[in-house]
Amino acid sequence: MLCHDEETAGVRFAVTDRHGGVSAGPYASLNLATHVGDDPAAVAENRDRLTAALGVPVAWMDQVHGVGVAVVDRSLDAPPRADVLVTRTRRLALGVLVADCTPVLTADPTAGVVGVAHAGRKGLALGVVPALLTAMAREGATELVARVGPSVCGRCYPVPAEMQEEVARAVPGAHSTASDGSPSLEIAAGVVDQLTAAGVAVEWLPECSVEEPTLFSYRRDGTVTGRYAGLVWLP
């Protein structure tokens, strides 16, 4: 269920894989997304199993590849439409759903603030990472630690040259080359560069979602697939 589970300096970071749930077919088995065509009852059971494993409730977002921010104090039946989620509530995990995009998990345990961001190609270029850092600062964070979770690597994300140039103009660190030598993007590398430049103590979990079969991947599996999650909370 958890391919990464770490508690450090008073913060818990976790990343799920696709095992330990009840979903069938292309969603097998721990799909955590409600918007991908999976059986809603199966997704609800998967989320219940995750909550039980973590020992804390999880707040989710309705992600739209933008830079919208929501500050929450509890898990909501109607998740906020946003790509950045922040809380000061202890024992409330924040979750970000991905299947090739980059989950960004941040915390300031001294200030008692955690935040997550959904960084895809569009969000990265629009500034979702600065939006996360600004939101964290607004809630009092000053000394951030971060984990950048598994996502598609540059080898597996070829894009048209003009798309590469557009994103790299905004975030040069995302510029990459695919395994066939064509232009590509590595969104996670761009995220890490932005966090590092902002003085964040960041660790990159660089497993590629396309190359790792225990993770869901939109690019590998096509439009019908599940979503795994990055999570952060203050125990």
Residue type for position 49: R
Mean pLDDT for 157-174 is: 98
In the chain, beta strands by DSSP E:
2-8, 11-16, 58-59, 69-71, 84-87, 93-98, 102-108, 113-119, 145-148, 175-177, 183-185, 201-204, 228-233
Q: Name 62's Cβ contacts closer than 8 Å, sequence gap at least 6.
A: 79, 80, 81, 82
pLDDT band with cut points at 50, 70 and 90 for residue 233: very high
Is a pLDDT exceeding 90 seen at residue 214? yes
Instruction: Pick the closest to residue 164 from 190, 192, 184 (CA basis).
Output: 184
3-state secondary structure of 159: coil
206 pLDDT tier (thresholds 50, 70, 90): confident
Which residues are CB-contacts of 79 (< 8 A; sequence separation ≥ 6)? Answer: 59, 60, 61, 62
Structure-block tokens of residue 98:
């991905």
- Could you read off the pLDDT of 32-48 as tens digits, one per residue? 999 999 999 999 999 99
pLDDT at residue number 182: 98
Q: What does the pLDDT read at residue 68?
A: 98
Task: Please state the domain extents for the chain.
Answer: 2-233
State pLDDT tens for residues 102-147.
999 999 999 999 999 999 999 999 999 999 999 999 999 999 999 9
For residues 116 and 84, the answer to whether their CB atoms sit within 8 Å is yes
Kindly tell me if the per-residue pLDDT of 53 is higher than 90.
yes
Q: Where are the beta strands (DSSP E) in 101-227?
A: 102-108, 113-119, 145-148, 175-177, 183-185, 201-204
Q: CA end-to-end span of the chain, whole Å?
A: 19
Mean pLDDT of 205-233: 97
21: tokens are 């749930």
**How many angstroms separate the CA atoms of 222 and 210, rounded?**
11
Full-prediction pTM beyond 0.75?
A: yes
pLDDT, averaged across the chain: 98
Please give the torsion angle defined by the CA atoms of residues 30, 34, 39 and 44, in that order, rounded to the nearest 10 degrees.
Answer: 60
Amino acid at 204: W
CATH superfamily, region 2-233: CNF1/YfiH-like putative cysteine hydrolases (3.60.140.10)
Residue 208 DSSP code: B
For tokens 């995302």, name the residue.
174
